[in-house]
């Protein structure tokens, strides 16, 4: 199972979380977010074993491309209303693309909308629908994902907390590839509790 920790900002904290054996790490390049990465990440300063994910929301493609190259981003996560054609361009540029979809438990899974992105995305991320873009600490009913029958692997996101170890282990879907951790493991926006993450990771990988 892939473990992605998103919303990192502080270099010392980034290095501490890297040592925990996480697989992916996310950096938010959306200025309206409290976790906005407003300075160069500085990956060249230390060896990185994790895959680097850049999170963007309705940004111009040229800015996404330039920011990703400058920060050695490997996966571009799109959290806005980006079209399939937008995703295809970034794929052709050599990036892996992960499209985020907001899931509302009170509505049916958006089968038709998700299907439009299957040929232009490497991964999907299913998050809780809120008024903002991620990091809400709110969970949706994972049972609605039984209606997803596509072939693009996905990460589960939205309010995953230290108390969810057993429910994650019990969750089953043929395309489920991992989890996205954020606000429930924070001391403050963008600064993760490394000890809490370590305990969670040890339990989830037992």
CA torsion, ordered 196, 199, 203, 205, to nearest 10 deg: 100
* E strands, 13-163, in order: 24-28, 51-56, 75-78, 96-103, 123-128, 154-156
Inter-residue contact 150 to 173 (CB < 8 Å): no
Sequence-ordered list of residues with C-beta below 8 angstroms from that of 43, at least 6 positions apart, any chain? 52, 71, 72
For the entire predicted model, the pTM comes to 0.93
We report the CATH number of the domain holding residue 98 as 3.20.20.70
Domain assignment of residue 86, given as a range: 2-204
End-to-end CA gap in the chain: 11
pLDDT of 39 reads 80
How many domains does the chain fold into? 1
Q: What is the pLDDT of residues 106-122, one digit of tens each?
A: 788 999 999 999 999 99
pLDDT of 136 reads 54
Q: Which among 150, 38, 174, 60 is positioned nearest to 101, based on CA atoms? A: 150
The stretches in the chain having pLDDT less than 70 are 41-47, 130-137
């Amino acid at each position: 199972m892939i473990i992605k920790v998103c919303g990192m900002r502080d270099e010392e904290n980034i290095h501490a979380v890297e040592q925990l054996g996480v697989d992916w790490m996310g950096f938010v390049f959306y200025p309206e977010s409290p976790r906005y990465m407003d300075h160069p990440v500085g990956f060249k300063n230390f060896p990185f074993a994790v895959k680097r994910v850049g999170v963007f929301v309705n940004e111009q493609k040229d800015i996404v491309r330039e920011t990703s190259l400058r920060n050695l981003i490997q996966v571009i996560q799109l959290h806005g209303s980006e079209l399939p054609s937008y995703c295809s361009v970034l794929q052709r540029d050599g990036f892996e693309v992960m499209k985020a979809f907001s899931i509302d438990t009170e509505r049916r899974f958006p089968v038709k909308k998700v299907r439009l992105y299957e040929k232009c995305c490497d991964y999907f991320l299913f998050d809780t629908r809120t008024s903002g873009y991620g990091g809400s600490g709110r969970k949706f009913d994972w049972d609605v994902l039984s209606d997803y029958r596509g072939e693009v692997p996905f990460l589960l996101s939205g309010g995953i907390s230290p108390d969810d170890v057993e429910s994650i282990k019990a969750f089953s879907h043929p395309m489920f590839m991992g989890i996205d951790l954020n606000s429930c493991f924070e001391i403050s926006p963008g600064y993760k509790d490394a000890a809490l993450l370590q305990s969670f990771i040890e339990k989830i990988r037992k």
